[in-house]
Structure 1
Amino acid sequence: IIWWYETGGIPKEDFSRKHDIIFRYSKSDEYVFRPKEVMEKRSNEVLRRIATGIPTATRSTGQYRHPSDVWKIPTINAMAKERLGYPTQKPEALLGKIIKASSDEGSVVLDPFCGCGTTIVIAERLKRKWIGIDITHLAISLMRHRLEDSFGDEVEYEVIGEPVDLKGAEELAKQDPYQFQWWALGLAGARPAESEKKKGADRGIDGYIYFHDEPKKGKTKAIVLQVKSGHVGTSQIRDLKAVVEREEAQIGVFITLKGPTRGMKEEALKTG
């Protein structure tokens, strides 16, 4: 299948890239294909010709035609509501067309490289069962938020492969501090800061939680979070206080594997 789009730059030494190729396979000759679920609307010019009664244009009088293997679907633009900033994020319309054409309600949809969760959100919306797999806890956190934003508490699912006790959390922190950080933010219901989606300089903010004092009313307020898996001390509480003031946040949250020292508690009390 050719996924055709019109966005993208103009390279100096090559043709402009305006398509991706989608491979479509089946393990057997018995597979699901539902073309009526993804019928394509005819162009206005074709509809006009059909309306005139010209013999060569009246083979089909419907407004829709059998789907072809060239799909014109826009990429996600910078201002799109569905855009999450994930580098490989695909449009919901593209995943929706694939799922509707290739499965029925109640079918199981598998995405072994689930990323930010577009596939599982569309599968849930179309009343399919689903399995999403990804190697990073950042992706798992994004999937949680996307499911919550789309369905609230109406969707039930199980996450397999995360730490379930302190020992597991300590082992994750030892193996990969960034994965521990993303996992901890997910537990707190926080969104990773944009600067933390890539390993790099720490601006003092690992994640955010946004809220309103009254639901859907008033100014959006922020809670900033820091996650530490190693040694902690009083200076880090002072640093967090400075970040809260700089960002004009309402609350600062410090997440750590180690219990707070007496000095850390006293510093937090001074902050108020």
Structure 2
Amino acid sequence: MSEATLNNPGLGTYRLKEDVAYQAVTTALELGYRSIDTAQMYDNEAAVGKAIAESPISRDEVFVTTKVWVDQLSKAHFRRSVEQSLARLKMDSVDLLLIHWPAPEGDVPMEEYLGELKAVQQAGLTRHIGVSNFTIAQIDEALKILGPGTLLTNQIEIHPYLHNRRLVEHCQRHDILVTGYMPLAVGRVNDDPVLTAIAENKGVSPAQVALAWVAARGIITIPSSTKRHHLQSNLAAMDLELTISEMNRIDTLDQALRLANPSFAPEWDID
């Protein structure tokens, strides 16, 4: 993952379908985004791939992430599902392939699906591999299976109302990058009085303050947006510096509020 990818937000495409997804990716690339995040479950890989293919930006300059869904984790389905993702994306490989969620109820052994993840990397279908929504215990199990230095990232929910500090620090201690999804808490940050006060003082938006807070923690952000001015604003947020006092004020907002918490979610870590 390049310095540009680390220092700038990526575009998350969850809930973006067909032409909406195509237009969002097209606009993001025009504005300077170079990291695009999709997934099998998002049902938009074809639109994302089309936008990237039709962009004047070279494919080599765009960091593309997709994720294997929970019903494709078994050895019987894993590689075929990745090949189908690549066909939809119209790519020979992606830059990062993630396990979207740990296998529900452990119905597929982690050793099996992480073995498949490593195998498709060795086959050249992805440059990097990682996980998403893994807990501390699951990260430790994954490292025992794959060894240190194999997982690029753990993609988890991070926003001012869910800090996930123990998990973030655990990943960072093991040199695993943390990618924070839903950094704007599905728009909740826009009406927050603490974020609004900081934003007004700096002449920016509450969303920019939230993104700057995530980035200041050394976490990669992948906000989702379809509007050009929001996409521009999200990029500009990376130039915003918060004071220690402002960071501390935002730190008081933690409520352990989980917005992505399906019935098959693992037993979450408590800070």
TM range, normalised to the smaller chain? under 0.3
Bigger CA radius of gyration:
1
Structure having the higher helix fraction is 2
